[in-house]
Each structure stands twice: as C-alpha cells, then as structure tokens.
C-alpha cells in the first residue's frame, strides 16, 4: 500500500480523534444524545467538534484526489508527498482550531485544499 493510501486512512480516522478530544474528561457527555451534548459545549470542545465536522467535509475531495492520481498514473513520490502535505495541513488546521487561532487555521485549510487540487493537477 502506498503512503498516499495510508494518508487516506489517516484522514478518514482523523475526525474521530477530534471527537475524542472534544469528549475527553467531560463527565457530562451523554452517549445516548451526543449531538445534544455537542450543542451545549463551549471553548475548545466546541472548536474540536467544528474541526471534526470540517474534517469529515474535507475527506471526500482528498480521497477522490488520491484515487484519481493513482488511476491516472501519477508518479508515486509526487502523490505521496502531496498527500503528506494534506495530512500535515489538516493537523495544523485542527491545532489552530483548538487554540482559536483563526487566521493560521484558514491558511492551513487553504494548504489542504491546495494539496487536493495539486493531486488533480499531478494526475492531469
């Protein structure tokens, strides 16, 4: 399996890590109504939830880009490098979201989007 494919798995699991961050140590979490709980939290827990939602939203484009790059015969080292950039950008994005650093968060988001576009360009 390629590094880029491993990155797809990491990107797929990343939202669940953010959910864990949001829930960790909060005894008020109710697994019977988790969405209600998310609506009541504030601070870093709320931002972790928002980062989780955005990570779910970013995943399909990234996964499609990796698969299309693979099918199109993109040089593997190129696809792997761009996929790693995407994962790094998403980690920075989540960290900035948790820390409430909005401008850096937006830049990290743009880098992640650029990585997806880069995979499509590499496949062209």
CA distance 79 to 19: 28
Question: Quick check: 20 pLDDT over 90?
Answer: yes
Question: Quick check: 32 pLDDT over 90?
Answer: no
Predicted confidence (pLDDT) per residue in 54-104, tens digit: 999 999 999 999 999 999 999 999 999 999 999 999 999 999 999 999 999
Question: Quick check: 33 pLDDT over 90?
Answer: no
Residues 6+ away with beta carbon under 8 Å from 55: 11, 14, 15, 18, 90, 94
pLDDT confidence band for 29 (50 / 70 / 90): confident
Entry pTM: 0.94
| Residue in the block written with tokens 């008020």 | 28
User: What structural domains does the chain harbor?
Assistant: 3-123 (1.20.120.550)
Question: Quick check: 37 pLDDT over 90?
Answer: no
């Amino acid at each position: 399996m390629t590094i880029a494919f491993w990155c797809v798995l990491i990107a797929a699991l990343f939202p669940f890590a953010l959910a864990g961050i949001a829930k960790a140590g909060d005894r008020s979490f109710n697994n019977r109504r988790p969405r209600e709980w998310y609506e009541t939290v504030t601070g870093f827990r709320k931002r972790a939830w928002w980062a989780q939602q955005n990570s779910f939203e970013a995943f399909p484009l990234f996964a499609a880009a990796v698969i299309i790059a693979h099918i199109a015969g993109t040089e593997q080292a190129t696809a792997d490098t761009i996929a790693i950039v995407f994962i790094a950008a998403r980690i920075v994005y989540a960290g900035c979201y948790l820390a409430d650093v909005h401008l850096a968060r937006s830049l990290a988001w743009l880098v992640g989007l650029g990585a997806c576009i880069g995979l499509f360009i590499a496949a062209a």
